[in-house]
Chains A and B, each alone.
Chain A
């Protein structure tokens, strides 16, 4: 089962390597890991999508908490968060296919961000499943390059994950 884990960490160099090292060392499987600053410049936030049963997730949480630079760890319950990923994709599409692709983009809430005579570059920001569906729709036109971020997630409603452990 997939779990979304938010980790607040001190914004030090080396923190990310400690965290990624911990995952590989302890054999935890991660699908994605995204890191960036927060509104507090001393704190960064990492979102991890991890695969495993309840025992594994409990272990991940506890082992993360042992890292001195980890301030807070929270695993979201099912449906408790909103998650987004960003995908950029370059398609080999000449003039004849542009209209079709733009229709797909319109329906999928994607954007065309660059255009050449032979290629189109598209951007979409959405949930993981939607990105996957979009990719399927675009694939037949000939994907020549694709890049995507890891998932980032935030809690629904008024509650926040604040830096206190």
Chain B
């Protein structure tokens, strides 16, 4: 079949089962946009390319498959970079398609020319600059394979405009064979046995779940193993919601902003079993001290993560789901009553501090919200205090899901990620929780949600400050506050109205309860502004 390369690109997406793509057009990507019209792919027009990437990211995190974002050459492509880096840091599979100037113009500083493969190199799992249109089918096949297998990540395909226009013979390849890319999936059986033996020998074992458990789709397996062997569980920020918050074996999130029980558990365990957690510096501050006192077992699909931040006594390279299944196959029920009883002593009742009149305790808001929301809700937290409040106080049920920008901490992520997540799971309630600073980094996406009728819920914690930075200045710089005042912000309730989005303001218990009821029950879009005291602390 003779078709243009642009049509071939569109057919490749269809062949990969893509039904939604997020993007923003421009001259250099017009041939591809034209070809997209001939497919059933639903195009979501974003209002900034970074959000195309974040929306694809939210979508991919829910479907577990690579999601597609599209930008034009030059400024469009460069605008994508923040999203590419954000996805890379959290191992989210993206296919980023960019237009490029004509081949003979490359290197001439042509209008809207940017070396995007060069610029994005540090943040991609792989990238292609297509020079031969005949390579399109193979490159797309490889790109989806690379993005979605092993440790997932973004793959960039940069296609010059004249390449898109040329005609090729189209046939979508069935298989890929990349000499240098053969990810390990199954765990070495001998090593699996050793890991099991170590778990049996441990008196105070602890499982630390990271984002890799979602990437591998290993939630059932990790819960199964923990329950069968009665091993307590903690998570990193990326692992939140992999284990139900109310489970007696669950002790919360570790790290700088983690909870005391979780951090104590890490200090006191004798064997730490890391599952798809890379031990980032925000999760474990002193890995060197920890590896001296604790036996470390580390499962990761990426061999480079093992031994990078923390030395592993028992490294095990493989897909978390397969490895945990291998372990479950041999595991016998066990008990750690003393250890669990000991950990119980660290648990504390939540107390919600009183706050000035006209404001609401954001932690209480989130705690209350989580009790009202449907069990399978998807919660997207932004970055800053709002994120930590959500991490520590939202109680996830069995089927709940938490999404945030963990590795990069990219402000503005939550709203676009929620839009993507909602498109991936229209039947689930999806709620973004952000700050008044972070919302202003992506609030143009309210239009995207309206235009494409994506009924997400949005909670804005308005403390009129870049709260987390303000707190840093309070604690670390003698309270010399600078550049953290958000004066000039719009009235978010009115802003929502301007977009035709229903909205409410929460200033007290009564309005809080009313808003939460609507967040949990309304069908459509809803923005809730929560008034928070400017000095309310993170922890």
Given contacts A71-B180, A165-B179, contact A66 B122 (CB under 8 A): no
Residues of B contacting A9 with CB < 8 Å? 180
B181 at the interface (CB under 8 A from A): yes
B178 at the interface (CB under 8 A from A): yes
Interface Cβ pair total, 8 Å cutoff: 39
- Chain A, Cβ-Cβ closest to B305: A62
Within 8 A of B (CB), among A109-165: 163, 165
Within 8 A of B (CB), among A16-65: 17-18, 21, 25, 55, 58-59, 62-63, 65
* Cβ 8 A contact of B125, one of A25, A58, A68: A68
- Within the complex, the shortest CB–CB distance from B372 to chain A, in Å, comes to 44
Given contacts A21-B121, A62-B303, contact A68 B182 (CB under 8 A): no
B118 at the interface (CB under 8 A from A): yes
Given contacts A9-B180, A165-B179, contact A21 B303 (CB under 8 A): no
Binary per-residue interface labels of chain B (297-335) against chain A in the complex, 1 for a CB within 8 Å, 0 otherwise: 000001110011000000000000000000000000000
Contact present for A69 and B180 (CB under 8 Å): yes
The listed residue with most B CB atoms (<10 A of its CB), out of A17, A66, A72, is A66
Contact present for A58 and B307 (CB under 8 Å): yes
Residues of B contacting A14 with CB < 8 Å? 117, 129
Within 8 A of A (CB), among B104-154: 117-118, 121-122, 125-126, 129, 146
Binary per-residue interface labels of chain B (259-298) against chain A in the complex, 1 for a CB within 8 Å, 0 otherwise: 0000000000000000000000000000000000000000
Residues of A contacting B121 with CB < 8 Å? 17-18, 21
- Within the complex, the shortest CB–CB distance from A129 to chain B, in Å, comes to 32
Residues of B contacting A66 with CB < 8 Å? 302, 304
Contact present for A25 and B122 (CB under 8 Å): yes
Residues of B contacting A59 with CB < 8 Å? 304, 308
- Chain B, Cβ-Cβ closest to A58: B307
Contact present for B178 and A68 (CB under 8 Å): yes
Complex CA–CA separation, A76 to B304 (angstroms) = 19
- Chain B, Cβ-Cβ closest to A21: B121
Residues of A contacting B146 with CB < 8 Å? 68
- A/B interface sample: 12 pairs, CB < 8 A: A14-B129, A55-B307, A59-B308, A62-B303, A65-B304, A66-B302, A68-B126, A68-B178, A68-B180, A71-B180, A163-B179, A165-B180
- Chain A residues in contact with chain B, CB under 8 A? 9-10, 14, 17-18, 21, 25, 55, 58-59, 62-63, 65-72, 163, 165
- Chain B residues in contact with chain A, CB under 8 A? 117-118, 121-122, 125-126, 129, 146, 178-182, 302-304, 307-308
